[in-house]
Amino acid sequence: MTLDPRTPIPTPKQFFCKETFFKLDKKIAASAEFLHCAKVLQGYIRQMFGLDFSVECGEPESGICLCVDENAPRESYRVLSENGLVRIFAGDTAGFSHGCAAVLQTAEGSAGKMQINGCEISDYPDVSWRGLMVDLARGNYSFEEVLVYLDICYFYRLNVLHLHFADSYDYKLPSKAFPKLDTGNAFDSRQIEQLRRYASERGVMLLPEIEMPGHANILTNTYPEIFGGAHSGTVCPGSGRLFDGLETLIGEVCELFPDSPYIHIGCDEVVYKHWQDCPHCREFMQEANLASAKEMYTHMVDLCSRMVLARGRTPIVWEGFPKEGSECLSREIVIMVFQSTYQTAIELAAAGFRVINTSWQPLYIVPSRPKYWEPDQVYRWRYNKWLYETATDDSEEMIVRQKDAVLGAQICLWEGQNYRSDGAIVEENTAVLAQRLWNEEQTVGYEAFAEQKAKTAKALHKMIDAKLAPFSEPK
């Protein structure tokens, strides 16, 4: 199957494009409830085409109109473009954002010029969790570059941006309770508020992540009297002040991100052998009736998750905790399965957990190694399929048959530095992931898709290049 050269990415469920083009009157209208969606579109038209559209409430006879469809399913949209008027129908911010992104991809023009095809689009996503993760803790990303990642989510209709704010030696969130965690490069509360607003206006959910009880050198080195300082970057459960400290950190994250329904608390790769040698930890194990340090690992996941649940949010953790003691864990916890060496997605789904696919292969991008998978490998993957990092074929693939247990998937960018060095492969693989999650069944071959993806990438760079200009060359 070939694609019409004007087809948006991800490809819509129904797309009919006419041969006629028309110019638009420079105005966008929307109801008061969705005026923010119109203003976002206005900004992108200015960036991409150099045109200043007005924004108003109402239903015009020309230009672009965001029309509320109260019966539209979540995230769905329709576009009807004819006779000088583009109407985008949706029932929520995400739906309008998806419709606007599709219109921006089909529009043609250059500085001071913009024209639209007559077209009809009817569309909705097949998979609910469609995400991108960026490791801010170990990277040197500017605030503007983080906004660009949100632009990419908007453009390719992803609905989650997962931000890994803390890991080992950096904590890049502001903390009133523990100000020494800021080593000089944390985002401030004003930037977090701006980030929240920017994401919300585009229908993208922010997933903030901090790390506990492992990957916590920044906690144990900076505040050893609270988090313990003798366990190689793992907190000390025997510290009498530990749980108050962790509770405070989780509370701060929830306050910084009041509209994030999920809070990620890490919980992976914990070096728990040190707990067995610590008299304070052994005392804690005895009081909690725990048989081993391994079982205490799971107990720590339980205690930290309860802190999130108590605040009305859903905890997310990485795969990593052992089976020992996991019967005590709330099934409200969502597990991101990446290595499939601690517990597999199949085992976790069978145990009643919901999972998110973050399979090392083909979803990881690790520029520091460097290691990543080519876009065509992502295209051959499915959202309920896991592969070991070292797999050379599909002979050991792990398929979760209970599809309702798999919320979705995300690309994971680890140990990057900045957009200049990492952006190209992120753009490539994110576009492919978006296609594979938006449309579970593919009717388009990879070559045809890749050709169309290259065309839409040019439109993406019209959107983001102005933001990236200050960071495009090494200093």
* Angle at alpha carbon of residue 74, lines to 28 and 158, rounded to 5°: 75
Distance CA 257, CA 242 (A): 23
Please provide the DSSP assignment of 426-454 as one string.
HHHHHHHHHHHHH-SS--S-HHHHHHHHH
Phi-psi region of 215 (alpha: psi -120 to 50; beta: other; left: phi over 0): left
Structure confidence by residue, pLDDT tens digits, 280-338: 999 999 999 999 999 999 999 999 999 999 999 999 999 999 988 899 999 999 999 99
Distance CA 449, CA 277 (A): 56
Burial class of residue 450 in the structure, from the number of CB atoms within 10 Å of its CB (0-12 exposed, 13-18 middle, 19+ buried)? middle
In which residue are the tokens 């969790």 written?
A: 129
Closest to 68 (Cα-Cα) out of 58, 53, 54, 81: 58
Flag residues of the chain having pLDDT under 50: 474-475
Distance CA 371, CA 360 (A): 10
pLDDT reported for residue 21: 87
* Burial annotation 364-386 (CB, 10 A radius, 16+ → b, else e): bbbbeeeebbebebbbebbbbbb
**This model's pTM is above 0.85:** yes
H-state helical runs in 156-238:
189-201, 217-222, 224-227
Q: Which tokens is 137 given?
A: 């803790």
Contacts of 465 (CB under 8 A, 6+ apart): none
Distance CA 161, CA 199 (A): 9
Q: What count of Cα atoms within 13 Å lies in the side-chain half-sphere of residue 268?
A: 21
CB 79 within 8 A of CB 87: yes
Average pLDDT, the chain: 95
* Residue 169 DSSP SS3: coil
pLDDT reported for residue 230: 77
pLDDT reported for residue 475: 42
pLDDT reported for residue 222: 95
Structure confidence by residue, pLDDT tens digits, 33-43: 999 999 999 99
Closest to 373 (Cα-Cα) out of 355, 397, 356, 391: 391
